[in-house]
Structure 1
Amino acid sequence: MDRIANIRSEEKKYHDDCYDTYDLFEPGSWLHRPVATVISLLEEYKEREYLSVLDLGSGIGRNSMPIAESLKYRDGKVVCVDLLESAIDKLNSYSKEFGVEQYIVARLSDIEQFNIEADEYDIIVAVSSLEHVSSEQALERKLQEMNAGTKRNGANCIIIASNIREVNLAQEEELDPMFEVNLTTARMFELLDQQYAGWEVEQRFVKPLEYEISRKGEPVRLTSDCITFVAKKS
């Protein structure tokens, strides 16, 4: 199995297991609550009568559900793109449970292959998803597409990992991280700054993260720099 296929197989196992174990917004996992940065950005657009949002790597709706709920008092759509059937199935189920199915447009697709139409979205969200495109060149192309797909005065909210390391805790052995794109933090910022030159950058910071995950049934320490980058197309 080639490296990309192996990574996607491992990620599928990890996410399927998480979605089976935890309900959306249930305490105990990262599904517990939406990302605060996304919710605060949404607040900036509360006066919009129609809001068009794209959630790349939406999962089961951690961020999409609260965005869709904000549309109950106006109109709009949340296009949710995910590679995993399990995620899209549960997303559709939760959209009914939360009474927002009319605002959710679910798309089963690799985000790299998903075509972002020009000038289509007020907000594009990509939380922990862009590091799973196939290469640095693919990441660059996707950022260009996101840029072109954003309406004037629209915004992009990107949360992405860099400097990723995985260490097997039993053997203290360094592993090949299960992420397709693993750039240095400096290079990732350089790429973002290039692609969003001319935009108004609202947030641009990095936070080190460390947590324990399971790979092939063994405990692994995952460390990364978590970059938050929010920019508005002025």
Structure 2
Amino acid sequence: MDRIEFIREAEKKYHDECYENHTLFEPGSWLHKPVKTVIDLIPLLEGKENPRVLDLGSGVGRNSIPIARAIKSRNGKVICVDLLDSALYKLKEYSKEYRVEETISIEKADLGYYEIRPDEYDLIVAVSSLEHVHSEQKFTSVVNQMAAGTKKNGMNCLIVNSSIEEIDLETNKKLEALMEVNIPTEEMMMKLKTIYSGWEELNVFEKALEYEITRDRKPILMKTNAITYVVKKSRGR
């Protein structure tokens, strides 16, 4: 098993257990509520008929379901892309529960190889997902596709981890971060600013985070600088 396969197997175990043991929008995990940065963009979609939204790495729908509920009455569509069967199975069930199954379209794909058609979307969301593509080159390719796939005056919302560290809380030993793409914060920010040159910055900041996760039943401290990057495509670009 190579490095990428090992990382993906560990991430699969972590997410499978989370989706099995925690219910969407119930307290007790990060599934408790949608990301405020994403939800704050919903009013900016008002007035658009047939709005189209792409959620890359949608998981079980903690962001896509609230968006779908908001744009359902305007014949909107949220395309949800994820690789994990457990996530897509739960997403299908939750979309029925919240009565947005006709608004949500589910696609299974590796984000690094998912084709985004040009000028297709009013909003593209990628929350803690792009760092899971195979390589930095794939990361850059996907973000460029996101930019090209956005309509004029459309928006991209990225939340991406950078400068990631993992520490074994039992031994206090620093471990190799199990993340496919781990780019230093300054380099990541510069990369995004280059790709989105000429776009209007709506909400751009970085925040140092620490939280405990479990890998193979061991407590791990994950430290990261989470970059929030929300931009709007300028008219005429």
**Alignment partner, residue 84 of structure 1:** 84
Amino acid in structure 1 at the alignment position of 2:218:
E
> Which residue is equivalent to 1:57?
57
Distance across 2 between alignment mates of 1:71 and 1:233: 20
Alignment partner of 1:43 is 2:36: no
In 2, distance between residues paired with 1:207 and 1:46?
Answer: 29
How many angstroms does 1:75 deviate by?
A: 1.1
Residue 135 (structure 2) aligns with: 135
Equivalent in the alignment of 1:182: 182
Partner of 2:208: 208
Partner Cα separation in structure 1 for residue 72 and residue 114 of structure 2: 27
1:17 — aligned with what?
17
Percent identity (aligned): 53
Q: TM-score, normalised to structure 1's length?
A: 0.99
2:68 & 2:174 partners in 1: Cα distance?
A: 41
- CA deviation map 1:47-75 (0-9, x unaligned): 21221000000000000100110122211
Q: Which amino acid aligns with 1:21?
A: N
Match of 1:66? 66
1:219 is displaced (CA, Å) by 0.8
Matches within 5 A, 1:188-227: 188-227=188-227
- Structure 1 position 135, deviation (Å): 0.9
Aligned position for 1:152: 152
- 2:196 & 2:77 partners in 1: Cα distance? 24
Aligned mates of 1:44, 1:146 — CA distance in 2? 18
Q: CA deviation at 1:203?
A: 1.1
Q: Which amino acid aligns with 2:150?
A: T
Shift of 1:214: 1.0
Displacement after TM superposition at 1:217 (Å): 1.3
CA positional deviation for 1:7: 0.6
Q: Deviations over 1:52-106 (max 9, x none)?
A: 0000000000001001101222111100000100100110111111111001110
Offset at residue 173 of structure 1 (A): 1.1
Deviates more, 1:69-78 or 1:91-100: 69-78
Deviation at 1:44? 1.0
Whole-angstrom distance in 1 between the partners of 2:173 and 2:216: 14
The RMSD of aligned alpha carbons is 0.7
Distance 2:192 2:122 in 1: 19
Q: How many residues align?
A: 234
Q: 1:46: how far off?
A: 1.5
Letter in 2 for 1:27: P
| Structure 1 residue 178: Cα displacement | 1.1
Which structure 1 residue ranges, 5 or more long, are not aligned?
A: none
Which residue of the partner structure matches residue 169 of structure 1? 169
- State the distance in 2 between where 1:98 and 1:174 align: 42
* Residue in structure 2 matched with residue 2 of structure 1 by the alignment: 2
Partner Cα separation in structure 1 for residue 171 and residue 215 of structure 2: 13
One-letter code aligned to 1:219: P
Kindly provide the amino acid, as one letter, of the partner of residue 169 in structure 2: L
- State the alpha-carbon separation in 1 of the partners of residues 215 and 105 from structure 2: 32
Unaligned runs of 5+ in 2: none
